[in-house]
Structure 1
Amino acid sequence: MICKKCGNQIKEGAKFCNNCGYESSNMNQDNRQYNSNMNQQDQQQNQQQKKKTSKIIIGIIVTIAIIVGLSALASGGDYSSKVSSVKNGYFQAYSSDDGYPNVGDAFENYFDDTSWKAFTSDDDMEIVEFNGKFLYYDDETDCCLQFQTYEDGSFDIYAVEFNGIPQDKLTISTLLDDIMDEAQYMDRND
């Protein structure tokens, strides 16, 4: 034990400081009060540390959520640009010099209830998918047409289905001719 008055080391159980005579019972009471105050301060510091740790963890979770959200938006933006590159693109055999519109205008002209989306296939191909309705042998038919896209912005027709049934190359070629011929020289002010 240390004397509170002079700082001298006092033997345990001594009633008085052998250096200054300060009564050790006062020191024990002072030490108990000091220890009690220190315990309260330690508890407060621990609570503050826990709050700081909780805030840091929450901050990390929020940051991760923001990064994931931005990644989703960025990839959505990338998919959006892939759809735009197909819609604004032209088939090699149907150029604008010959009066043909871009793919998007031609398809929107030919089909009803159209929709476009992009995704990465299970085998890592970048696909832009078009869906629309049209009359096929006088029956309303759902058409799903997929374009495979490439990094240079080019694309090819990858697959076509009518009412969920895959179509052969001749049917696809005939459909494409019909779509583009109907759209050639169309009024683009609609």
Structure 2
Amino acid sequence: MFCKHCGAQNNDNAKFCAVCGAKTEIGSSIGEVTNNTIAYNQESGNVESDKKQSKLGKIVNGIISFIAASYLLGSLVGLFEKSPIPFLVFIGIEFLLEIIKHKFPKIPEPLIFAVEIIILIICINSANAAGVVNSVKKGSPKNNPNVTYEEAFDNFFANAEWKSAGKDDEGNKLVKFTGNCTYFDEYSSAVVTFTVYDDTFTVSSMKMNGQELGEILTYAMIERVFDEYDQSY
């Protein structure tokens, strides 16, 4: 076998020319096969990796969707004292994320998963808070069981607003109501705080223009609120 570069004669099995050191036909063929094998292995590895990521993505998406759907269904049928609205919002966001994933396939799946989980946690917390507020709004005092706090308060106070107010020092959930009314012939701002226990709640405080009312005045004011509703309807 002769070298293509310098013309020197070499052994038939030589991979390199003994004179100039250039690759012979055998050496070039072996190099091409090796390079092709490496490229094929790398491509196969990438395909397998993509398959694993895709499978993992489907599993994670399935779990997240199942949790959201369970909470949504439970809220709608009354199994949970939660508002279904945050979960409807989550489903809308999930749909939007799917569009983003298809439009920008290079976005790492773990990043999408992290965003989905964070949003789901926020939605669950929002639903819990809304559920606590709703339990107070739909509740009624023992001496007036046919009228809810929401009906009486929204009728008596202007600019009525209900919201979750965190927890007290003992870990009980709090709901805060704010509104405006006439108090001793003066247009006043009212703040009523409810303390929510496992299966009941109480009016824990009431303020008028920032001044906290005592227990007697608080319950007298609450009674006035419900009496006015009864007179109106």
Give TM-score scaled by structure 1 length. 0.70
2:31 aligned with 1:32, yes or no?
yes
Q: Which runs of 5+ in 2 are unaligned?
A: 1-9, 16-23, 58-106
2:124 aligned with 1:128, yes or no?
no
Q: Which has the higher contact order (CA 8 A, sep 6+)?
A: 1
Following superposition, the deviation at residue 146 of structure 1 comes to 1.1
Correspondence for 2:206 among 160, 181, 186: 160
1:13-59 residue CA offsets vs partner (Å, 9 max, x unmatched): x8334xxxxx5432212122223334544565576678779876832
Correspondence for 1:16 among 12, 18, 21: 12
Residue in structure 1 matched with residue 196 of structure 2 by the alignment: 149
- Tell me how far apart the structure 2 counterparts of residues 88 and 46 of structure 1 sit (CA, whole Å): 59
- Tell me how far apart the structure 1 counterparts of residues 221 and 113 of structure 2 sit (CA, whole Å): 49
Residue in structure 2 matched with residue 87 of structure 1 by the alignment: 137
Give TM-score scaled by structure 2 length. 0.59
2:221 aligned with 1:175, yes or no?
yes
SS in 2 for 1:89: coil
Residue in structure 2 matched with residue 11 of structure 1 by the alignment: none
More helix by share: 2
Q: How many residue pairs were aligned?
A: 164
Q: Is the 8 A contact 2:168 2:174 kept in 1?
A: no
Tell me the amino acid that sits aligned with residue 30 of structure 1: S
- Tell me how far apart the structure 1 counterparts of residues 168 and 197 of structure 2 sit (CA, whole Å): 16
1:121-180 residue CA offsets vs partner (Å, 9 max, x unmatched): 26322112111111122322111111111222x110122222333322122122112212
Following superposition, the deviation at residue 186 of structure 1 comes to 2.8
- What's the RMSD between the two structures over aligned residues? 3.0
Runs of 4+ with >6 A deviation:
49-57
Q: Is the 8 A contact 2:194 2:204 kept in 1?
A: yes
- Tell me how far apart the structure 1 counterparts of residues 152 and 168 of structure 2 sit (CA, whole Å): 29
Q: Which runs of 5+ in 1 are unaligned?
A: 1-13, 18-22
Residue in structure 1 matched with residue 7 of structure 2 by the alignment: none
